[in-house]
Amino acid sequence: MFSPNSLQPRMMLVNRFSCTLKNQSVKIGHCSKVPRNVNMEKLQHGYLFPEIERHELIHIKKYPNANVIDLGIGDTTKPLPTIVTSSMVDFVRGLSTAEGYKGYGPEQGEKALRKAIAHKIYKNLDIKPSEVFVSDGAQCDISRLQLLMGPNLKIAVQDPSFPAYIDSSVIIGHAGKFVDRIGKYENIEYMTCGPQTDFFPDLHTISRPQLIFFCSPNNPTGHAATRKQLQQLVDFAKVNGSIIIYDSAYSAYITDNSPKSIFEIPGAREVAIEVSSFSKFAGFTGVRLGWTVVPEELLYSNGFPVLHDFNRIVCTCFNGASSISQAGGLACLSPEGLNAVQSLVDYYMENARILVNALTSLGLTVYGGKNAPYVWVRFPGSKSWDVFAGILENAHIITIPGSGFGPGGEGYIRISAFGQRDSIIEASERLKYLLYQEGL
């Protein structure tokens, strides 16, 4: 039988030597014989949001009495509506009873919730409950979709975009090495989406990607793609045989008539998968619940349905979302629940309006905040990280440097509108003071 004590002393000595890692020497621990995943080695830095948190902690240590306002990560702050929490409480109480106890549920999600998502979120779009896979969040599904598709595909992403698309593409093995000079990974197509092209890529310049990650309303710019833009995207995917992975996590924030789902676009069922979430729509960032829609018509090049393989991935790699979260999700989609979560969305959008007004009153160029709870502010000629550091140092406000979302975000910062109202008003005043009185 294996026992650690049976290891030969000489072998232990060899393995306890420090391992040399590029320029770093790891002083403690035991070097296994397992090589590091080469794709992990390619990653350039830690994931964006924990990196920002690290800066926040350093700042708090430096200024322990400062009232730091966190408008960095898009984390919801308003309490959940009672209709949602009471349905979770009832469900939890039931778990202590013989009749209400439930163990494993279906990996794809509870039937009632799949049906509610198909019929309420995708009203009139003919999404079948069997095409809806309930999950623990859109970000987790992005990684499961990478696993589904496998490595070495040609990827295209909006630039700037939510960093999980690129980082998960590097981890699964789509990317080549990172090119410092341009701040991009090889083999990933960065589709520039800035104000000069109405935040939509110039598709004529994009070379035939196999997978296209597309987020609308876009995180971080807040731009919601128009119907015409999305039709162009779907047509482009069809001509090139690409699959679009469409992230609609912020669709509840759309206030104009931009599509809330890619499936509003004719032809999308043949080329797109949609991931979405209860996080921003219903304040479930901590509760964890999301979903992915894989239409039956979406096929691989050999004619095999993508839906069947995604089902296989979900059954193998996921045991289903928490039944408690699903009870809450179902309550969100009741008529009363939908009204209640809409009032959360309205609250955050009013915050966005306050921030946009404050910043535009300073003569800054501000995007977003109309169809998304993110405000995207331009600081021409400045480096995003310098602006981030200046605002943190002088106003004690956490934002996100735009370049954290890709090279196309350089010269911008993103401000989240997910704060409490008094923090948003206080932050607006501090920003006005800092940027007007002192400049940056």
Between 171 and 268, CB nearer to ligand MLT: 171
Distance CA 86, CA 89 (A): 5
What are the two backbone dihedrals, phi and then psi, of residue 259, each rounded to the nearest 5 degrees?
A: -60, 140
Specify whether the CB–CB gap between 274 and 132 falls below 8 A.
no
In whole angstroms, the minimum distance from the beta carbon of 74 to ligand MLT comes to 3
In whole angstroms, the minimum distance from the beta carbon of 52 to ligand MLT comes to 9
Between 74 and 81, CB nearer to ligand MLT: 74
Alpha-carbon Rg for the chain, nearest whole angstrom, is 23
- Give the three-class secondary structure for 92: helix
In whole angstroms, the minimum distance from the beta carbon of 48 to ligand MLT comes to 8
User: Nearest-CB residue to ligand MLT?
Assistant: 74
Structure tokens at 206: 């994009």
Distance CA 152, CA 191 (A): 19
In whole angstroms, the minimum distance from the beta carbon of 80 to ligand MLT comes to 17
Sheet order of strands, 243-247 included: 132-135, 290-293, 272-277, 243-247, 211-215, 155-159, 188-192
Is residue 139 a contact residue for ligand MLT (CB under 6 A)? yes
Sheet order of strands, 374-378 included: 365-368, 374-378, 412-416, 400-401
Distance CA 16, CA 364 (A): 56
Distance CA 46, CA 154 (A): 24
Between 109 and 220, CB nearer to ligand MLT: 220
Between 73 and 425, CB nearer to ligand MLT: 73
Distance CA 19, CA 25 (A): 6
Between 133 and 405, CB nearer to ligand MLT: 405
Please name the amino acid found at residue 430.
R
Is residue 371 a contact residue for ligand MLT (CB under 6 A)? no
Site string for ligand MLT, 148-187 (x = CB under 6 A): --------------x-------------------------
Q: Contacts with ligand MLT: how many residues (CB under 6 A)?
A: 6
In whole angstroms, the minimum distance from the beta carbon of 154 to ligand MLT comes to 25
Is residue 409 a contact residue for ligand MLT (CB under 6 A)? no
Between 107 and 247, CB nearer to ligand MLT: 247
| Helices 138-149, 163-172: inter-axial angle, 10-degree rounding | 30
Between 87 and 371, CB nearer to ligand MLT: 371
Distance CA 298, CA 271 (A): 6
Site string for ligand MLT, 49-68 (x = CB under 6 A): x-------------------
Residues 70-89 that bind ligand MLT (CB under 6 A): 73-74
Options 168, 169, 218, 219; binder of ligand MLT; rule CB under 6 A:
219
β-strands 184-185, 69-70 pairing: unpaired
In whole angstroms, the minimum distance from the beta carbon of 415 to ligand MLT comes to 11
In whole angstroms, the minimum distance from the beta carbon of 370 to ligand MLT comes to 17
Beta strands in 197-255 (DSSP E): 211-215, 243-247
Distance of CA 135 to the CA centre of its chain: 14
Site string for ligand MLT, 239-278 (x = CB under 6 A): ----------------------------------------
In whole angstroms, the minimum distance from the beta carbon of 139 to ligand MLT comes to 5
Distance of CA 67 to the CA centre of its chain: 28
Between 162 and 310, CB nearer to ligand MLT: 162
Site for ligand MLT, rule CB under 6 A: 49, 73-74, 139, 162, 219
